[in-house]
Amino acid sequence: MEAEPLIRTVSDTALWTAAYRADETERPDALFRDPLARRLAGERGAEIARRVKQKAVRFAVVMRTAVFDDLITSAVTDEGFDAVVNLAAGLDARPYRLTLPADLLWVEADLPGIVEYKEALLTQETPRCRLERVAVDLSDAAARRELFDDVARRARKVLVISEGLLSYLPPENVAALARDLADQPVFARWLTDLTGANVVKRVRTAGHELKGGGSPALFTPEEGSAFFEPFGWIEAAWTGLFSEGPKRGRDSALSRLVRFVSRFMSEEKRVELDRSVGVATLIRGPRA
Ligand SMILES: C[S@@+](CC[C@H](N)C(=O)[O-])C[C@H]1O[C@@H](n2cnc3c(N)ncnc32)[C@H](O)[C@@H]1O
């Protein structure tokens, strides 16, 4: 009989990233602290994190968490954003751990199974802002538009975040999602992580632990953020994750290797490496 895959559905990937956040929290030199992550990740999350031997994936999740933390905090504290929509929030616990304005509206959207699981584990916890959770399949166009309309009616300046979501969607669904987000004039900024095809191929080749699991990477645009331009979003900033390690004092073996190898690269290759995995800050642009 075939053993059950380590990652059964895409929602198991939320347990996995929560386990990385829990491990990070327990380090003496943690880049962030997420005290709820251990509970949310559970045994299964810990097991996935233990068995997936890809240090680069752990590094990327930790770095992107720290980068998103900073970008979100600055948007809601200094730049007048009064609402955050976290698409595919999974087991993210930022509403409980970041310093946030109490009147900030924070809407989390994810598939019903993970929303129910999270609700059950967090009933006793108090978020630091006005938190709402919506069970929705974001590939259902009518359902997601209803969600976006509802948020847009109640906010002036909305920050959209998608962290660890887009790579699981086929490009046509990402395009449709981008269009629907752009349809809402108050959705002013969209933060998303992006991973290049070359990185995914390497992880897939080495990552036989994931074989048979429900999380294939589908969206790895060759053109990077330019993919979003026809749908009304342009890149205002890019944070490459490989360079974040040294900047944040996390001099891992991987960071050292990347630094060493990049010394021998052409400028073009260095840029390509920097662009291969990171966080894009998208703002509204003209639509095609
Ligand atoms: C890698 S996890 C990321 C979760 C969280 N953002 C984080 O960074 O830890 C991917 C998330 O995408 C959600 N997801 C995937 N497809 C989805 C869909 N069609 N609609 C809503 N959520 C979806 C999964 O349930 C899961 O929580």
Distance 137 CA to ligand 1 centre (A): 10
Ligand 1 neighbour 213 (Cβ under 6 A):
no
pLDDT digits (tens, 9 = 90+) for 244-255: 888 898 867 777
Spell out the domains of the chain, with CATH numbers in brackets: 12-284 (3.40.50.150)
Residue located nearest, by CA, to atom 25 of ligand 1: 11
Ligand 1 close to Cβ of residue 13 (< 6 A): yes
Stretch 121-139: mean pLDDT: 97
Q: 117: CA distance to ligand 1 center in Å? A: 13
pLDDT digits (tens, 9 = 90+) for 20-64: 999 999 999 999 999 999 999 999 999 999 998 888 889 999 999
Q: What's residue 202's pLDDT?
A: 54
Please check the confidence at residue 206 and state whether its pLDDT lies above 90.
Answer: no
Instruction: Compute the distance between CA of residue 56 and CA of residue 241 in angstroms, rounded to an integer.
Output: 10
DSSP state of 94: H
Residue 250's pLDDT is 84
Kindly state if the Cβ of 17 falls inside 6 Å of ligand 1: yes
**Beta-carbon contacts of residue 42 (< 8 Å; ≥ 6 apart):** 15
- At 219-276, the pLDDT tens digits run 989 899 999 999 999 999 999 998 888 889 886 777 777 778 888 888 888 888 888 8
pLDDT at 199: 64
Mean pLDDT of 120-145: 97
Closest CA to 56 of 213, 246, 247, 245: 245
Ligand 1 site, residue 164, Cβ cutoff 6 A: yes
User: How far apart are alpha carbons 231 and 23 in whole angstroms?
Assistant: 38
pLDDT of residue 55: 84
pLDDT over 70 at 200, yes or no: no
Cα of 91 to ligand 1 centre, how many Å?
A: 9
